[in-house]
Structure 1
């Protein structure tokens, strides 16, 4: 992954003689600002990380840890002002040890998921659950509760496979220490999904399994029985997920289960959305969607989405029977080749040729992501409400279909304080975002109503590394052990050096009044719920209105 011809996304930390800034992989945060800091440190060992935290502690600096590519959308990594300290895990990326007998692997917190998967495979071991994107670091993904899809065993969240952790924490009086957590430590459940608020993760120990094979078949069906089938599907297929195309009234069921290791097949996951992509093609695609937005061409979006879904079906969505390409289902292969994708990390060095589709250095994708976990007992009713809303505006949901539809994954209840409260379905909505924050989106009221319906009517909890600001207002109250997490914060970071204004607002602590920003046009970017027309774009015909199905929603609707 780090070869001569590798051209991963640009580092998120940039420094000059005046100080440093940090952003994310998309080049910008929800309120359009990067974050400033006095300095950045790039430790390459636990000793150097310890000294970095001790330095910040002595100076009483606000500190935040940033990962190699910084994929979190909300402002988790901001160090709390221009006097703050950025600590990057870019160089903390080694595999520390592998114990074949216990099937445990210890890695530094900046180790990339793709590298961890490959290293485990060398010992014929596998991490049973991961997100689908290789370009995450282990420290970042467990801190935000990242996951795959499963209700089997320990479930789909990677932090459920963490059996040890070494955390560098600040001490009162200007020093730092290393805290070692093992599976019996009372506070491991606080440290697993910590949002980086307890200190800097040095090492993570993972419980692996013997290498195994999976068999994957994508089946496209009509949506009519989705409410009845979704729960049974999740409890039947170990790695199964669903992709819903509501405008087309279709569901793609991914039937995905373990099979014996002697079953023939050498399948590969090269998901089309994570492949190296021609930058010229990305620019053309973006320009076409911008024109559809400007001309309010919803039917054009629907037509493009239908062609795209059919094309994906023909090429197996990027799954390959072998390194050569897709022939037919099932795709049978080893776990390390099927669990995640990310070949765009290995794109050629010339950005003028290929890149990851969302790389901010090119004219490519720029999007919002709304992601929430809905309790399994409530998911059928939520799906019914989405269908009711869709039926009132059949073309209004085609925008998400251009970004691979609504991905639905299964997440098991967790003991982690900020993990899933109950067995849940995680729904991912990815959709167009304008480069101009004051430009409204086509049919944006529909997705805003779905967002508010899921979060407020059905009590959904947001993915910590995704979402717009409104998803995080008062969010800690939704967690059964939210207060226990605050106690752990106070215990390991008594002076609050690893928090910032945004995280304080999200957790409802300190002097912050929350993460909602009330200003003209704030609802367009999810910085607020509209309370009046000025929060939308009345000069462009978008006014604050009640929801059509969820009448308590407040959305920006276009009215001629």
Structure 2
């Protein structure tokens, strides 16, 4: 059966009412995002007219890309009468200037196309996220990045030279106007290049490029016995290196990934297995297996399945392919645009071949906790996780099914909402129940890791990859230049047309965590009452075992409380 993936904006033909979804089909709080109108501009003038319409009619507005891969609700205007502006059709312009080594592109252009265009002109964008199915405007708004401690670091926004935005304006100005920002406008640029979508609509972006180069990738396994001592040195020695840590297996997979001359032999590609079109029946079977482990409390099954999956992926190169299109061993050498990012499932037109997280099938459904921990604290964090692991190694087997703890390197940014220090970004993906009232197997362990990263070590949350407890007043306090950002926000959008209750909460401006029953199960709150967990299933609010200031939902068997 042929069909394009579902649009994140879905409207009722009869009533005109629309709803906005993320790529996973469910927002962190499981609420619906209803909007009064949806618009799909294809030109900058249409974009100006749409924003003017919203301002004139006093409508809350938000922007959503063609795929909406952010977990948090930044794309939801709030209420039921807002206006959502989709950039699905705003993707025609990609202009390469070889002499100035720049590219200018519409904000709706997908990263996969952008990188291909850049590479075909003999140029390279030095850094990018690992997933290429996101839009240029979306990845900038959330501060998305790859992995590097060298040069400008791994964030795409560090390569922004200029940007145009459409922002609210006075009636005399026509209710909307175009603002052009260059890297000479330091204050505006530092606010705009990571903006969470609250300043206005990004129209076009100009990025600085480099001459094309190749990368050489070698992955190797090692014991994690020295991980806390090796983690920083490895990042300093390999320009694009990363680390996948499997705590329950006492194992690390290091990715030694470095720039090499274009004359180096090899035309390899990165077709990461988890991003390829996958049989719907296969991802459904994988989910059924994991749900079975959860329901039966089967630690052993999770651990065994995680081991088999990890070994199989490593043996087959995890999607890295050599010049002949197959994996024949490391190193894999290829051009930057073929190695730096991966995808493919987002373009599948078959409903039998899907992204593993596609909500139209009962496939993978998960939480993400992604926190950047300063380089001067990452060693202590790893030590704490090891101490927690020692109490019950099997409790961490669940992350093995989602590539462990992916640890990438990020540099301090000049962006007001960017990384404040050089850091190691710890990315953890893990099982989420279909019901918000259902606890997870060993829920307390990853909750303690999450709170350890956020609160004990003051980690900064990835703006597009976290549960709601990662945001709020405690997060705002971690950004010393937040007030500078808010001053720019008040200049661009003084009436808050592009702000919502959710974005105000995320920035610590207003609002607080949930206090509803079961709120801690979904990361809507840190538990303070047993009712925040699932006492009916014997999950109660208890202190952490290593980070004792943590409050986590722990299974307490009947008669042992």
TM-score, with normalisation over the residues of structure 2? 0.97
- 1:26-52: per-residue Cα shift (whole Å, max 9, x none)? 001011122111100100011110111
Matches within 5 A, 1:101-112: 101-112=99-110
CA distance in 1, matches of 2:484, 2:155: 20
CA distance in 2, matches of 1:524, 1:172: 45
SS of aligned partner of 1:292:
helix
Matches within 5 A, 1:385-534: 385-474=384-473, 475-509=475-509, 512-514=510-512, 516-534=513-531
Contact 1:172 1:495 in 2 (8 A): no
Query: Which residue in the other structure is 1:196 paired with?
Result: 197
Matches within 5 A, 1:536-547: 536-547=533-544
SS of aligned partner of 2:326:
coil
Matches within 5 A, 1:162-311: 162-173=160-171, 175-186=175-186, 187-311=188-312
Matches within 5 A, 1:342-421: 342-347=343-348, 349-351=349-351, 353-421=352-420
- Taking a change above 3 Å as real, the CA distance of residues 125 and 451 of structure 1, as seen in their structure-2 partners, is same
Gaps in structure 2 of 5+ consecutive residues? none
CA distance in 2, matches of 1:70, 1:8: 15
Query: Which residue in the other structure is 1:9 paired with?
Result: 5
SS of aligned partner of 1:94:
coil
Query: Which residue in the other structure is 1:81 paired with?
Result: 79
- Taking a change above 3 Å as real, the CA distance of residues 237 and 82 of structure 1, as seen in their structure-2 partners, is same
Q: CA deviation at 1:513?
A: 2.1
CA distance in 2, matches of 1:311, 1:296: 25
Q: CA deviation at 1:8?
A: 5.4
SS of aligned partner of 1:27:
coil
Contact 2:191 2:416 in 1 (8 A): yes
Gaps in structure 1 of 5+ consecutive residues? none
SS of aligned partner of 1:396:
helix
Question: Which one is further off, 498-507 or 548-557?
Answer: 498-507
Q: CA deviation at 1:238?
A: 0.3
Query: Which residue in the other structure is 1:535 paired with?
Result: 532
- Taking a change above 3 Å as real, the CA distance of residues 193 and 530 of structure 1, as seen in their structure-2 partners, is same
| Number of residue equivalences | 551
Contact 2:162 2:181 in 1 (8 A): yes
Contact 2:408 2:426 in 1 (8 A): yes
- 1:440-481: per-residue Cα shift (whole Å, max 9, x none)? 000010000000011000000100001111100211111121
Q: CA deviation at 1:517?
A: 1.1
- 1:121-151: per-residue Cα shift (whole Å, max 9, x none)? 1211111100011100000001000000001
- Which of 551, 555, 560 is the matching residue for 1:554? 551
CA distance in 2, matches of 1:8, 1:223: 43
SS of aligned partner of 1:9:
coil
Question: Which one is further off, 336-345 or 549-558?
Answer: 336-345
CA distance in 2, matches of 1:81, 1:296: 40
CA distance in 1, matches of 2:466, 2:170: 34
Contact 1:269 1:319 in 2 (8 A): yes
Contact 1:165 1:205 in 2 (8 A): yes
CA distance in 2, matches of 1:41, 1:105: 27
Contact 2:4 2:350 in 1 (8 A): no
Query: Which residue in the other structure is 1:147 paired with?
Result: 145
Q: CA deviation at 1:346?
A: 3.3
CA distance in 1, matches of 2:251, 2:63: 41
TM-score, with normalisation over the residues of structure 1? 0.97
